[in-house]
Amino acid sequence: QNDGYRTLSLSGHVGFGSLPDQLVKKSTKQGFCFNILCIGETGSGKSTLINSLFNTNFDDPVSMHFLPSVRLRAQTYELQESNVLLKLTIVNTVGFGDQINKEDSYQPIVDYIDAQFEAYLQEELKIKRSLFSYHDTRIHVCLYFISPTGHSLKTLDLLTMKSLDNKVNIIPIIGKADSISKTELQKFKNKIMSELASNGVQIYQFPTDDEAVSKINTIMNGHLPFAVVGSTEEVKIGNKMVRARQYPWGIVQVENENHCDFVKLREMLICTNMEDLREQTHARHYELYRRCRLEEMGFRDIGPENKPVSLQEAYEAKRHEFYLEMQRKEEGMRQQFVQRVKEKEVMLKEAEQQIQTKFEHRMLMHQEVKLKLERKKKVLEDEIAMFVEKKANAESLQSQASVSTPVISLKRDKDRK
Amino acid sequence: PYAGPVESRNEAAMSELVQEPRQKPVVPMKPVGINANLLGYIGIDTIIEQMRKKTMKTGFDFNIMVVGQSGLGKSTLVNTLFKSQVSRKSSGWNREEKIPKTVEIKAIGHVIEEGGVKMKLTVIDTPGFGDQINNENCWEPIEKYINEQYEKFLKEEVNIARKKRIPDTRVHCCLYFISPTGHSLRPLDLEFMKHLSKVVNIIPVIAKADTMTLEEKSEFKQRVRKELEVNGIEFYPQKEFDEDLEDKTENDKIRQESMPFAVVGSDKEYQVNGKRVLGRKTPWGIIEVENLTHCEFALLRDFVIRTHLQDLKEVTHNIHYETYRAKRLNDNGGLPPMAVETEENNESNL
């Protein structure tokens, strides 16, 4: 266990015995996350039990039976006890078991659990990541509520638990257990456990490897599934107010171990194994999800020639591929762009040509018209010149005639002319 | 899915290679925080005990490196810190042994136990540092070793089938030994700390502090602190990693008054005032190692072991390792030769 390291003995007090305290102090500062998933039919007592477990009224709205499909509703609460801050998330299945056709009942649940693993995996794969401040939403425990029929598990129960048992820690619970008598209860419990075993459903086993808790955990393992009763009302017993359900024939006390296993559940879930549930989720269920997911993506630890291929190399290879693809696409786009520009250029050149032709044509026409006009002008000018000449001639003749003849005879001459 | 931060286009995260996940149910994925009032004791605070028990079962790793010229008392100090022979003292270079041409890295691991807590302690010695005539780049083998440990861890972390507990060989703390010249830091000291403070937690200590008087000590410390500040050397505990006001006040006091710790080491015991104490015997008196009026060994011990050991590991893991990882996954960005080699191999494979 020491990996071949020599053990040395200390000759005095060093002080690293405080190391667990240092670690715990840091974790306390950051706070803890705990996420519970409750699966059970509408009216099986899920919300009441959670309220009872955490001694609070979590204010969950009551749901109807007519929902078309199963939905999951998550609520996070911050609870503080002494200096411990707990971020508690309760996920409820709404509408579970209500549909006529229940084929799709458990898939939304599986998807939800996977989605939380996926979110964590994505964060873990990021280049710049912040895992130590990540709000862990992975489901640490699944409380599966079995209806207190007294007979056996329903098919839906078996199918659902079978599809979840390698993804989450399952603790089966018999809800509203005050409707079963003691003798019927033990038979019912045995039937359930044997059915789970014969169908190969792996439920969460309270750990028995640590001597401190092994004894109590072994005993508790034998009490599964826990038959619980929850209550949000209090009744006065003796001189204390206790959570209880009042019937005409008596009072069922939630915290009385003779009446139900509520105290056992609380003990196991919170006081003894909360940390183990978290650890199993991370070290077992999440690792399995991660492994399957990475293999799905095409990564392998062993390459084609049976040589170990590091995920990093595979990733870098893929990244290079991706980079080449990106370059190719960029090149394609660039060429497209160049093509478009060329086409536009050609179009513009053609248009330019057209305009040029039109212009020249117009210029020609303009020239022609101008020539015509100039000719006309010349003709008119010639006419004017001729007329001026005539006028000049006439005037000169007139002036000659006026010198030799009197005016009257001029007039007569003029008339005669 | 999870409402995480929006990545910029330049950050080619591995997650971008992931195909679109299967269709999700219509649910609000991001939980909303609500404060609930507890009406009675539940037992949530027992998680502290549960956690403590688990960590005690798994045990702790701690890797401490000592750097400094020969003869500054590195091995003695580490042995005094951990009250056992965790480091083998080199009694100078014999005529048969040659002075190493470069800096050697020697890592020796031991398991020690106290108060039910098992610790796998590895002391990494660096013989040859600063001992050559030409000490240029003598920090490079050390930087290379530190990065190799980050690389080892990264390789394990990135495996598909990973170990339950990845063995941690990363250097959590590097004690740098300053010669008690009484004047100032040497160029070699500054160069080393400038380079290495970016990759590992450096704790500077003034070695063989019994050669300085109280005034000389205090002046020297002030000068060293000033020089470190002027040269932009961030030693542990780094200011930027103080988590809250409580940390800051505590660490400020250590940074501005106590550090660098002026220490004396010894593995010999003497009788002083009826008690057996660790000390050094001189003609003019016995220097008690664990006496705060004589030297600051006890402060160093408490600082490294009793209060900040876990924090040293966390800063190494959450900050130095993450920096290395980000650089490595982002196409090398100027890492030492080892990384370049891998890149070349990749090119040839493709």
Q: Give per-residue pLDDT as tens, B85-120.
A: 877 766 555 444 556 667 889 898 889 888 888 899
Q: Regarding predicted confidence, which is higher, B312 or A411?
A: B312
B201 falls in which pLDDT band (50, 70, 90)?
Answer: very high
What pLDDT shows up at residue B256?
A: 87
Can you give the pLDDT at residue B340?
29
Distance between B37 CA and the closest CA of chain A, angstroms: 6
Residue B346 has pLDDT above 60, yes or no: no
Does residue B90 lie within any of the structural domains?
Answer: yes
| Residue A168 pLDDT class (50, 70, 90 cuts) | very high
In a domain, B225, yes or no: yes
Domain boundaries, position B194: 57-265+296-332
A8 CB neighbours in chain B (<8 A) are: 84-86, 110-112
CATH number of the domain bearing residue B146: 3.40.50.300
Domain ranges of chain A: 26-297, 314-391
Q: How far is A31 from chain B (nearest CA, A)?
A: 11
pLDDT of residue A287: 94
Compute the mean pLDDT over every residue in chain A, rounded to the nearest whole number. Answer: 86
Q: Highest mean pLDDT range out of A75-79, A119-123, A211-215, B55-59?
A: A119-123
- What confidence tens digit (pLDDT) does each residue in A72-113 have? 888 888 888 888 888 899 998 888 888 878 778 888 999 999
Residue A240 or residue B21, greater confidence: A240
Q: What is the pLDDT of residue B151?
A: 92
Q: Residue B38's pLDDT band (boundaries 50, 70, 90)?
A: low
Contact A22 B84 (CB under 8 A): no
By the 10 Å C-beta count (0-12 exposed, 13-18 middle, 19+ buried), A360 is classed as exposed
Averaged pLDDT, B288-298: 89
Interface check for B114 against chain A (CB to CB < 8 A): the answer is yes
Judge whether residue B39 has pLDDT over 70.
Answer: no
B164-183: pLDDT as tens digits? 888 999 999 999 999 988 78
ipTM of the complex: 0.76
Sequential DSSP letters for A75-117 = EEEEEEETTEEEEEEEEEEESTTTSSS-TTSSHHHHHHHHHHH
- In the prediction, which pLDDT does B12 show? 40
Interface touch B42/A55, C-beta < 8 Å: yes
Q: Contacts of residue B14 in chain A, CB cutoff 8 Å? A: 125-127, 315
pLDDT over 60 at A226, yes or no: yes
Task: Map chain B to HEC letters.
Answer: CCCCCCCCCCCCCHHHHCCCCCCCCCCCCCCCEEECCCCCCCCCCHHHHHHHHHHHHHCEEEEEEEECCCCCCHHHHHHHHCCCCCCCCCCCCCCCCCCCCCCCCEEEEEEEEECCEEEEEEEEECCCCCCCCCCCCCCHHHHHHHHHHHHHHHHHHCCCCCCCCCCCCCCCEEEEEECCCCCCCCHHHHHHHHHHCCCCCEEEEECCHHHCCHHHHHHHHHHHHHHHHHCCCCCCCCHHHCCCHHHHHHHHHHHHHHCCEECCCCCCEEEECCEEEEEEEECCEEEECCCCCCCCHHHHHHHHHHHCHHHHHHHHHHHHHHHHHHHHHCCCCCCCHHHHHHHHHHHHHC
Question: For residue B123, is it within any domain?
Answer: yes
Q: Could you report the per-residue pLDDT of A179-190, keeping only the tens digit for each?
A: 888 888 999 999
Q: What is the pLDDT of residue A313?
A: 64
Q: Decide if B3 touches A, using CB distance below 8 A.
A: no
As a whole number, mean pLDDT of residues A5-34 equals: 85
The mean pLDDT value of chain B amounts to 79
With CB atoms and an 8 Å threshold, state whether A271 touches B82. no
Contacts with A, B 210-239, CB within 8 Å: none
Q: Which of A10, A14, A138 to mutate to test the interface with B (most CBs of B within 10 A)?
A: A14
Q: Indicate the range of A168-177, A356-365, B326-335 predicted with least confidence.
A: B326-335
Instruction: For residue range B42-54, list pLDDT tens digits in order.
Output: 788 888 888 888 8
Within its chain, how far is the Cα of B108 from the centroid?
A: 16
For residue B112, give every residue at least 6 positions away whose Cβ sits within 8 Å of its Cβ, in sequence order, or none: A7, A8, A9, A10, A14, A16, B82, B84, B86, B118, B119, B121
How close B93 gets to chain A, by Cα (Å)?
A: 26
CATH topology of domain A26-297: Rossmann fold (3.40.50)
The answer, yes or no, to whether residue B27 has pLDDT greater than 50, is: no
Domain count, chain B: 1
Nearest chain B residue (CA) to A288: B161
More confident residue, B321 or A404: B321
* Residue-wise pLDDT tens digits, A290-336: 999 988 877 766 555 544 555 566 666 767 777 888 989 999 999 99
DSSP A225: S
Instruction: Tell me whether residues A317 and B350 touch, CB distance under 8 A.
Output: yes
Q: Which residues of B touch A116 (CB under 8 A)?
A: 2
**Is residue B325 included in any domain, yes or no?**
yes
On whether residue B9 sits in a domain, the answer given is: no
Q: For A388-406, what is the mean pLDDT?
A: 82
